[in-house]
Amino acid sequence: MTPNQPELLSVTALNFSLSKEKHILKDVSFSVPQGSFTLLCGPNGSGKSVLLRCLKGLEQMQEGTIVLDGKDVSKDRKKRMQTIGLVFQDADTQMVGQTVEKDIRFGMENLGLDLEEQNLRLEQVLQLLDLASQRSQRPRTLSGGEKRRLAIAGVLVMDPKLLVLDEPFANLDYRSVVSVLSTLLKLQKEGHTIILVSHEVDKTLSHADQVLVLEAGRIVSSGSPREVLPTLSLHGIYLPEGAAVEDLTWLKR
């Protein structure tokens, strides 16, 4: 990430409550530079998934401002639905097609894209996410890592400005984690902006441009991986003892 990169996303004083007594997110503020990889971490129940749903527009925040690509979209949930791509923790919930190809086409058909544009985007994403050989396969027969890549593919063909992933390594074996992580880093290299939510920071910390730590609905620490690393154990986040930032990845250097 280069200095002075323009902000793609700016969130200011976001609040979300289920009731007067049940405050889930409290004055959450942060920004995400264009083309960056942001790791959002925190203990279970800290509000990470709810924050993503608020950004996407699936939950209605009570207060706060969301600026995306220079435009205030705080009250424009439809715009956020269109421009923020969210990959849910359970990849199966995003599968709707009878084959990998039909699954990827589903969103584009709903957008009303012409067949030529659909075909172009389809071929690009099949190659990018290494799914070309599975294009005729039933999604339910894919491995865990392949399902996750398919879920990402279905979001990417919608051409989102921001790609957000909720616990993308949940229930995956080592090989699948490596596959998905490699895919995300490849996407960032292609210019995509990524927010990744995970409490398993040992898998990804060394690749992050910035780290946000959420606890009890508040951002309690933020900065570069080296700046945030000493604070993580204070907020209930597991780390291998004595690990340096460069050690915190599941990819071989």
pLDDT along the chain (253 residues), means of 10: 77 93 94 98 93 96 96 96 92 87 94 94 94 95 92 94 94 90 94 94 96 97 96 90 92 75
pTM score: 0.92
CATH H-level superfamily of 7-247: P-loop containing nucleotide triphosphate hydrolases (3.40.50.300)
| pLDDT of res. 253 | 55
Give Cα separations from 39 to 18, 78, 82, 111, 215 (angstroms): 26, 25, 22, 30, 14
Q: Please name every residue paired with 54 in a beta bridge, in sequence order, or none if there are none.
A: none
| The pLDDT of residue 218 | 97
Residue 143 C-alpha from the chain's centroid: 20
How far apart, in Å, are the Cα atoms of 133 and each of 20, 86, 126, 174? 52, 25, 9, 22
Check if the beta carbon of residue 248 is closer than 8 Å to that of residue 241: no
What pLDDT shows up at residue 124? 94
Q: Where are the domains of the chain?
A: 7-247
Instruction: Give me the pLDDT at residue 142, please.
Output: 94
- Number of C-beta neighbours around residue 94 at 10 A: 20
